[in-house]
Structure 1
Amino acid sequence: MPRSTNSVSSRKKRKKIIKLAKGFYGSRKKIYTVAKNAVEKSFLYAFSGRKNKKRNLRSLWIQRINAGTRTYGKSYSDFIKKLSYHNVKINRKLLSDISMNEPKVFKNIIDFVYS
């Protein structure tokens, strides 16, 4: 009895990897074994990139809050400490947005915290 191969699903699996490698340079998009390694590595980069994106955005929010507090002669660390002391539950993302787009509201927050 001849050997049976599952060529349909094998080809489907290879085509999926080659499709994911679209846009890669040279043999990384053409040759299956090289493309497979490149796609696996790209998934690792994508995973760590999603984590780095969160880290970078938090850093950006902190810089914006710091710039907003410095205009009133206060420091970021002191401002955050006083926020927690007064039980003000506003996250850094919202604070940075307020400091950039609503300076009067941000001034009111600073006045409340430092009163």
Structure 2
Amino acid sequence: MPRVTRGFKARRRRNRVLALAKGYRGGKSRLWRTATEAVDRALCFAYRDRRTKKREFRRLWISRISAAAKMNGTNYSQLAGGLRKNSIELDRKVLSNLAIVDPNAFSVVVKTAGQANA
């Protein structure tokens, strides 16, 4: 009696995993068992890091804003408090970009926020 190879459904599933493993080195891109392990692991990392990316960008924006605020004679927490008091609703991403692209506009924002603290 011949062995059961499970037909086209199994082949389709294997091909889908091997397509995800395309570009991996060595047997990880060609051998079914190692490819499934590598793909499962990669998908776990991808899921985790989609969440981690948001945290890391927020940290980056805050450190950039903090550095730009120090150059304008204040610190991050005073700037954030002043913006809140003056109802200036610029998020961290926009503030960070403003500090890099247009430092003069950022210093105007800092002065406006500083008027609330004075």
TM, length-normalised to structure 2: 0.85
Deviations 1:50-100 (A, max 9, x none): 112211211111111111111111111111112112221110000111111
Alignment match, 2:45: 45
Structure 1: runs of 5+ lacking an equivalent: none
CA distance in 1, matches of 2:112, 2:14: 62
Matches within 5 A, 1:27-46: 27-46=27-46
Structure 2: runs of 5+ lacking an equivalent: none
CA distance in 2, matches of 1:105, 1:19: 48
Letter in 1 for 2:73: G
Alignment match, 2:108: 108
**RMSD value over aligned CA atoms?**
2.0
Q: Number of residues paired by the alignment?
A: 114
Q: Secondary structure at the match of 2:18?
A: helix
CA distance in 1, matches of 2:5, 2:63: 59
